[in-house]
Amino acid sequence: MSTVTERILQLKKEKNAVILAHNYTSSDIQDAADYVGDSLGLSIRAAESDADVIVFCGVSFMGETAKILSPEKTVLLPEPEARCAMASMCNAEQIRHARQKNPGAAVVGYVNSTAESKCGMDICCTSSNAVAVVNSLKQKDVIFAPDMNLGAYVASKTDKNIILWDGFCPVHQSITVRQVCALKEMHPGAKILAHPECRPEVLALADGIGSTEKMLAMAGEVDSEDVIILTEVGMRHRLEALHPLKRFHFPIQAVCMTMKMIELESVVNALETFSGEVVLDPNVLKGAYASVKRMIELRD
């Protein structure tokens, strides 16, 4: 065991801390974490944890969501500047405007959004329960923000009228049909699994679509040894551990640079100094709670 890992273990004990990491973080962070998962799984863990301190190895909206669910806990972001590019494509003012333009419509917010925008949303969702969340609403018209690709995917699975936002994840948006066809040509027998943040025309080529956690499960279920994985490359770590007899092929540019900012040393520093603590305005904490709480209650 490396010295830095030993130090993390010691600090976790001293501070009664738990380390949560998203599937896109680097492999050494995943190995140091108590739980690695998708956004829904992580939010549930954060809400249910009895630790005093949550070290959230992920982008800032993830730490904010943990704080909204457990305001009494200390939530630390080892790299507070690690932000999700998609989350910055929607703000509270734009949501107010969208509501005025579409009176009576419900607002469903992807969890990849800021805490301030969550205050204006009726209910949040993650990629794993987006369809269930939209179907749970009584309104026919639903504004879905900020991911237009996940919104279009949900629209294809419900009879609701989905009003799309114009946000997207640059990592998933960079994956093109041409690139998927080239991967398929290199691995003709491969099955294709895709994250719903991908473009609709890319999703049309997929054999399975789901959240990162769902993709990990589907990889074991598909009947091919080669599997093309259309999401962020950090997924390779768990895919290879869970399915050692399979070969996984990624679009090489699918790297979320902000997820990769988080290093073991920053986890040590956060635990030693409590730097990167998530502090939210009490009104924001209160305003965002209901929409996030509803999100974790709908588990598919």
Nearest-angstrom CA–CA distance, 288 and 41: 19
Tokens of 122: 């009726």
Contact flags string 135-174 toward ligand 13P, x per CB under 6 A: ----------------------------------x-----
Cα angle at 83 between 80 and 84, to 5 degrees? 155
Q: Measured from the CB atom, is 27 or 283 closer to ligand 13P?
A: 27
Nearest-angstrom CA–CA distance, 256 and 295: 24
Q: Measured from the CB atom, is 40 or 271 closer to ligand 13P?
A: 40
For ligand SF4, the binding residue among 112, 126, 127, 291 (CB under 6 A) is: 112
Nearest-angstrom CA–CA distance, 142 and 13: 45
Residue 26 in contact with ligand 13P, rule: CB under 6 A: no
**From the list ligand 13P, ligand SF4, none, partner contacted by residue 126 (C-beta under 5 to 8 A by kind):** ligand 13P
CA dihedral sign, ordered 155, 145, 212, 204: positive
Nearest-angstrom CA–CA distance, 141 and 160: 6
User: Which stretch in 148-156, 175-183, 253-261, 285-293 sits in contact with ligand SF4 by CB under 6 A?
Assistant: 253-261
Give the binding-site size for ligand 13P (rule: CB under 6 A): 13
Residue 18 in contact with ligand SF4, rule: CB under 6 A: no
**Residue 103 CB, nearest approach to ligand SF4 (Å):** 30
Residue 213 in contact with ligand SF4, rule: CB under 6 A: no
**From the list ligand SF4, ligand 13P, none, partner contacted by residue 79 (C-beta under 5 to 8 A by kind):** none
User: Which stretch in 5-13, 120-128, 261-269, 286-294 sits in contact with ligand 13P by CB under 6 A?
Assistant: 120-128
Nearest-angstrom CA–CA distance, 143 and 107: 5
For ligand 13P, the binding residue among 49, 114, 173, 212 (CB under 6 A) is: 212
**From the list ligand SF4, ligand 13P, none, partner contacted by residue 85 (C-beta under 5 to 8 A by kind):** ligand SF4
